[in-house]
Amino acid sequence: MSRDKQEVLERLAAIEELTAAVIAGEKRYCTTCRELLVYRDAHSGYHPGVFCPNGCTAILMEMRPSGDKL
């Protein structure tokens, strides 16, 4: 596997771990401004995802109805 591909996979794994932790209620902080990251679910009135209150970090999530197939 090329180094670039490995770096992308490692970064993706880190994003997935961060997202899962924030959704689970763990405190995680923005790497840029150190503000507490927040999770907004599909019913929040905002695009679902993990966000920094200052806008430094935005991990958008795609939500599908449970019966939908990829």
What does the pLDDT look like over 24-42, one tens digit per residue?
999 999 999 999 999 999 8
- What count of other Cβ atoms lies within 10 Å of the Cβ of residue 7? 10
pLDDT value at 51 more than 90: yes
Angle at 26 between CA 37 and CA 16, to 5 degrees: 70
Tell me what pLDDT residue 3 has.
80
Domain membership of residue 22 (yes or no) is yes
Domain membership of residue 68 (yes or no) is no
Whole-angstrom Cα distance, residue 19 to residue 51?
10
Q: What mean pLDDT comes out for the span 45-64? A: 92
Total number of domains in the chain: 1
Domain membership of residue 65 (yes or no) is no
Domain membership of residue 70 (yes or no) is no
Domain membership of residue 50 (yes or no) is yes
Domain membership of residue 11 (yes or no) is yes
Domain membership of residue 23 (yes or no) is yes
Alpha carbon separation from 65 to 14, 21, 23, 48, 68 (Å, rounded)? 26, 22, 18, 13, 6
The values of phi and psi at residue 47, to 5°, are -60, 130
Q: What mean pLDDT comes out for the span 47-70? A: 85
* Domain span at 35: 3-60
Domain membership of residue 39 (yes or no) is yes
Q: Residue 67: pLDDT band by 50, 70, 90 thresholds? A: low
Q: What is the pTM of this model?
A: 0.79
